[in-house]
Structure 1
Amino acid sequence: MQLPFLRLSCDTAAQIVYALLTNHWGLPAPNLVVSVVGGEGHQTIKPWVRDILRNGLVKAAVTTGSWILTGGLREGVSRCVGEAVRDFGAGALNSSKNKVIAVGVAPWGMVNNRQQLVNPKVRRTPACCR
């Protein structure tokens, strides 16, 4: 399964990013944006933190129409958030009101197999997406 992605320059205007997420991808405008940061690396996440992420954060995002932003990597808190979103999606009905919108913002150099995401036909632009 190919998931959508954006590759952005560090100086891409926030308005462009927002337009790509809402207009190009069709994401609903968020009522709230929750940024979950910290605890990256190979640290062990405490069980109570994992429970809050699994039971509280995702449900709160759904009920408030929020977007969840993470560091986008498969480690630490970002991994816990990703697993919570995945598990919620697997148990939720296929209706738009039950969708969790999670956006991972990862440094390009940390993305595995990033060369597969490069389109040689696209010239350098502030943003490219799929």
Structure 2
Amino acid sequence: KAMYIRVSYDSKPDSLLHLMVKEWQLELPKLLISVHGGLQNFEMQPKLKQVFGKGLIKAAMTTGAWIFTGGVSTGVIRHVGDALKDHSSKSRGRICAIGIAPWGIVENKEDLIGKDVTKPYQTMSNPLSKLSVLNSSHTHFILADNGTLGKYGAEVKLRRQLEKHISLQKINTRLGQGVPVVALIVEGGPNVITIVLECLREEPPVPVVVCDGSGRASDIMSFAHKYSEEGGESLRDQLLVTIQKTFNYSRNQAHQLLVVLMECMKKKELVRYENMNETIRFSMQQDAINILGSN
């Protein structure tokens, strides 16, 4: 059973956190892992999937983390859901996974309408539909409604503000420490590179862990990181070609994204690349504290 609420896209983050703590009776996390990545379905090689799942679960279990995702059962969120499902079948420890999705994108949303009700929800996806089903391995859902149908966007600002608000909650009053937030990047389209830059520009910045080897945006960032030291025109040209190919972009579009990517590289001390072909360390809480402490 999962708890869910449909809210206006401009709901205040303090009211949402109040609901989560008081109504849903969640304890403030010691770490917030915010997962971003591809929304289209993509295959992960079984070994990568296993390494990713194990690393994520271990990070969440050892720190008492909350995991934030986009909530629907596609792309990276499906892989997170599979890891959660695998964990819950073997262990009693429940991980708090909160899906923040736009109401307008949710398949069978009519089944969810009602106040203080328990509703059955069909999680089988309809291949012909443009909408997406919620992922059944999540424990909670916040569904942001801005009146649109079949479109993403309503949830973006709400999620960002809620993450920021959680990061300001003092979990260690003696040290005056807030909740560390880490962005975890898996695969991803061009918008994911923009999300990374927004994380790095936050005050204080949100450290980023990129799963190198997961594909598309993650691999482009990793490639840029590896070679940004030597830099030069040949790297720029190679990146432009790779961006064009990967995202089916015109040269002009690729150029605009390259500017964003190069801005990310200026703050590369805040980004860690996990090689998905090895075991993932995912010591994210320590990362967040180290990175934020050293700035």
Pick the TM interval, shorter chain. Answer: 0.7 to 0.9
- Structure 1, 11-20 or 48-57: larger mean CA deviation: 48-57
Question: Which residues of 2 match residues 43-122 of structure 1 at below 5 A?
Answer: 43-47=42-46, 49-93=48-92, 98-119=93-114
Per-residue deviation, residues 12-68 of structure 1 (Å, max 9, x unmatched): 111111111111011111111111111211222344542333111111101101000
In the alignment, the residues of structure 1 paired with residue 45 and residue 76 of structure 2 have an alpha-carbon distance, to the nearest angstrom, of 10
Question: Is the contact made by 1:68 and 1:103 (CA closer than 8 Å) also made in structure 2?
Answer: yes
Q: Secondary structure at the match of 1:106?
A: strand
Identity %: 36
In the alignment, the residues of structure 2 paired with residue 62 and residue 14 of structure 1 have an alpha-carbon distance, to the nearest angstrom, of 25
Q: What letter matches 1:29 in structure 2?
A: L
Q: What letter matches 1:28 in structure 2?
A: E
Q: What letter matches 2:63 in structure 1?
A: T
In the alignment, the residues of structure 2 paired with residue 91 and residue 101 of structure 1 have an alpha-carbon distance, to the nearest angstrom, of 16
Question: Is the contact made by 1:39 and 1:76 (CA closer than 8 Å) also made in structure 2?
Answer: yes
Query: Which residue is equivalent to 1:124?
Result: none
Q: Secondary structure at the match of 1:37?
A: strand
Q: What letter matches 2:31 in structure 1?
A: L
Question: What is the TM-score when the length of structure 2 is the normalising length?
Answer: 0.37
Question: Is the contact made by 2:69 and 2:100 (CA closer than 8 Å) also made in structure 1?
Answer: yes
Q: What letter matches 2:110 in structure 1?
A: Q
Question: What is the TM-score when the length of structure 1 is the normalising length?
Answer: 0.81
Q: Secondary structure at the match of 1:5?
A: strand
In the alignment, the residues of structure 1 paired with residue 13 and residue 104 of structure 2 have an alpha-carbon distance, to the nearest angstrom, of 21
2:41 equivalent to 1:42:
yes
Question: Is the contact made by 1:30 and 1:66 (CA closer than 8 Å) also made in structure 2?
Answer: yes
Q: Secondary structure at the match of 1:23?
A: helix
In the alignment, the residues of structure 2 paired with residue 69 and residue 33 of structure 1 have an alpha-carbon distance, to the nearest angstrom, of 7
In the alignment, the residues of structure 2 paired with residue 46 and residue 65 of structure 1 have an alpha-carbon distance, to the nearest angstrom, of 28
* Cα distance change on mapping 1:115 and 1:58 into 2, 3 Å: same
* Cα distance change on mapping 1:118 and 1:56 into 2, 3 Å: same
Per-residue deviation, residues 55-102 of structure 1 (Å, max 9, x unmatched): 111111011010001111111110010111111011003xxxx22110
In the alignment, the residues of structure 1 paired with residue 114 and residue 33 of structure 2 have an alpha-carbon distance, to the nearest angstrom, of 31
Query: Which residue is equivalent to 1:10?
Result: 9
* Cα distance change on mapping 1:50 and 1:87 into 2, 3 Å: same
Query: Which residue is equivalent to 1:24?
Result: 23
Runs of at least 5 residues in structure 1 that lack an aligned partner in the other structure: 121-126
Question: Is the contact made by 1:45 and 1:77 (CA closer than 8 Å) also made in structure 2?
Answer: no
* Cα distance change on mapping 1:39 and 1:19 into 2, 3 Å: same
Structure possessing the higher radius of gyration over alpha carbons: 2
CA shift, 1:3, in A, is 2.0
Cα RMSD for the two superposed structures: 2.2
Question: Is the contact made by 2:41 and 2:76 (CA closer than 8 Å) also made in structure 1?
Answer: no
Question: Is the contact made by 2:39 and 2:77 (CA closer than 8 Å) also made in structure 1?
Answer: yes
Runs of at least 5 residues in structure 2 that lack an aligned partner in the other structure: 116-141, 144-295
